[in-house]
Structures are given as structure tokens and as C-alpha cells.
Amino acid sequence: MMDYILGTLYGMALGDAMGMPSELLSRRRIQEIFGRITTFEDSPEENPAAIDMTKGQFTDDTAQALVILDSLMENDFVPDKQIIAKNLIQWAFDTDAFSKNILGPSSKAALHAIQAGEDPGPHTVKAITNGAAMRIAPVGCLFKSTDLPKLAKFVLGVSEATHKTDVALGGAGMVAAAVSAAVEDKSWDEIMQAASDGYDLTAAYGAETYSASPKARLQIAMDLAKRHADDAEAFSLSIYETIGTTTLASEAVPAALGMAYYYRDPEKCSLACANLGGDTDTIGAMAVAICGAKSGASGIPAEHIVVLEKSNPVDFHAYADSLLSHRGHVG
């Protein structure tokens, strides 16, 4: 089990770091700048978000996931939105995330409200972006795939400081549930079914929106995967054009799950996501976390792990130890 939990963490960081240089660039512009991304790259000057970042560094997706884990460890793995908000705000100050174009609009608005002593509720019940989903993957390691109702309630507790809509919570539930099934080495169809079930359970806690359904779009993505089984480039293009790759949870989450379902191998998935266009680091973080959960850290090239460890001052093994010791004992 340790290998699969480490695979989730390293996979999240790999997809994030590989997609960092192309974050929020169009598919066409990525091709113009890089030709094709085939390994870790520095962020180009025109990147609108990952400013001055160098090859192998992960972005706010993985950073916030680790803040969530720190917050859980601080409170014996009981989600506390005050602790989570406090730690996210401290992280934002430490990284200058408020003034840089790092925080997503939903998190930024909610955290600013908390800073000002105001109720973040008016912002969290309108949050339809992917901030809750992008940082949730490690939480899936805490739950057996038979405990999805507990997982859904836990996802609410972890996410509600910044996101509390059906689509944002449901999207986070999809990613966490997929990881939960993947670390148990379920089949890829079973992993996608867990994601769909996770959506229903978690979305029920959120404020109703009229967003497109990530669950319905996942089914479309799976159909596209079968249609383009022998043409990976056509599949990626179809995800970009049909599902969408913006920061909306209704696009980024099913896009990530679709990419994981198609590519399956962590390295191949990370490169495909990096060249996808749009919110590449976030889609990569979610997708490759699921691939890594399924393959284990042993399925990720050792040279990539070396780069990730050298480029980011994080002890992934310590986080994995904590997740494993609490697996099945929370919620």
C-alpha cells in the first residue's frame, strides 16, 4: 500500500511540474513555444501564472494539497475549516500568492473574506472552479473504496473553507474516489465508476448550480477514449475541444479523469497533459495522481522522482507514512 500512496503523491507532483510551463497557454501556443514538451521545462516568460518557475518545480496545486495534509496532521486528521483557511492564508503570504496570479478566483475571494473577518459563505456557494479538486487527491488514500459516503463527508470538511457548490465538491469527490479505488488496484472501469459514485455523494453537500455535470462529461470522455483508442493525439485534441480544459471544475475534472483513463501510465499521462493546452498543471496533477495511485511510485521513472525531490523541498515519504497510518481510521 505504501508504494501506491507514494505513487499518488509523486504522480500529483509529476503531472503538476510537467504541466507547469504550459499552464494557461493554448494548445497552439504550446506547440509554437516548445514544439512538444517531452521532459521538465522552465516556465516561459509569457506564462501567465507560473512566473519564474524552473524545471521540476510544482505549482500551487501540489503546494495546496500539502497544506491540506499539514492542516489534517495538525488536528489528528479531523477536517477543520478554520485551521485549513489559516494555513492556506499563511501559505499565500509565504508565496506572495495574493499579489501574483497564483490563487484561483474562488479561493482568493474566500480567503480574502476570512482575512477581513467576513463570512466567506457568499463566495464559497458560488465557487465553480477546480480549486477543491486540484488539491484533494491525497485524501483519497485515507479511505477504502467501500467507504465512499465517509469519503464524501470528509471531502466536504476539507473543501468548504473555499468551495461549497455541487460542482466544486462533486469534482473533488470524483478525484478522491478515483484515487481510493486506484490505490486498491481496481480496474480502470471500476476507478471511473468510483469517480461517478463519488460525484453523486459529494455534490449532494453543495449549493446547487447550473454548471454542466462533470459526471456526464466523464462518460463522454470515456466514449472519446474508446473512439480514439488507436490515435492518442486525436483523443487529446477531442478532450481539448469537447470536454474543455479551463479552470472550471465541470471541464478540468472530467478532462483529467479522461486523460488518466486513456493514458494510464504516469509518464505518458504527464506529457500528454502538459501538451494538452489550458489548465495543464491542474489537469496533470489530478490525472497523474490517479495514474500514480494505480501504478505505485515504482511505476514512475526514477529519474523523474529525483528531479522532483531536488526541485521541491518536500519529504513525500513523511506524508505517505502519515496517510498510511491513518488509512481506514478517519471520517
Is 61 known as a binding-site position? yes
Is 281 known as a binding-site position? yes
Beta bridge pairs of residue 129 = 248
Burial of 319 (C-beta count, 10 Å sphere; 0-12/13-18/19+): buried
Is 59 known as a binding-site position? yes
Is 189 known as a binding-site position? no
Largest CA distance in the chain: 54
Is 279 known as a binding-site position? yes
- Binding-site residue numbers for Mg(2+) are 59-61, 279, 281-282
- Binding-site residue numbers are 59-61, 279, 281-282
